[in-house]
Amino acid sequence: NAGVTQTPKFQVLKTGQSMTLQCAQDMNHEYMSWYRQDPGMGLRLIHYSVGAGITDQGEVPNGYNVSRSTTEDFPLRLLSAAPSQTSVYFCASSPGAGRGYTFGSGTRLTVV
């Protein structure tokens, strides 16, 4: 099993550009989430999903969109990149409540 796979690993965007961060898991996990990690702020929840077709906002959803059309994939879309979105993004998945999350290796995004 590959676990949680994030692509790309690194990305540089210009302000105003849009892009999609990809996340795929092969463990048949129902729950998936997106986080951003910034120094001194820990991991902040952007959006999460408890199953295909179900998504909800986390702590910092503005400027990001998600959809969950399949159990395996949970892409994160940046609509119009801003320098404040420079961060490391982590995707995670879990088989269910209380069972812990498996994290991807992250995407380092720089917006110039």
User: Which residues of the shown chain bind another protein in the complex (CB under 8 A)?
Assistant: 31, 33, 35, 40-45, 48-50, 56, 58-59, 90, 92, 94, 96-98, 100-101, 103-106
Least separation, in Å, of the C-beta of 82 and another protein? Answer: 23
Q: DSSP labels for the chain?
A: ---EEEE-SEEEE-TT--EEEEEEESS--SEEEEEEEETTTEEEEEEEEEETTEEEE-S--TTEEE--SSSSB--EEESS--GGG-EEEEEEEESSTTS--EE---EEEEE-
Least separation, in Å, of the C-beta of 69 and another protein? Answer: 18
Give 38 or 79: the residue with its C-beta nearer to another protein. Answer: 38
Give 81 or 87: the residue with its C-beta nearer to another protein. Answer: 87
Least separation, in Å, of the C-beta of 1 and another protein? Answer: 15
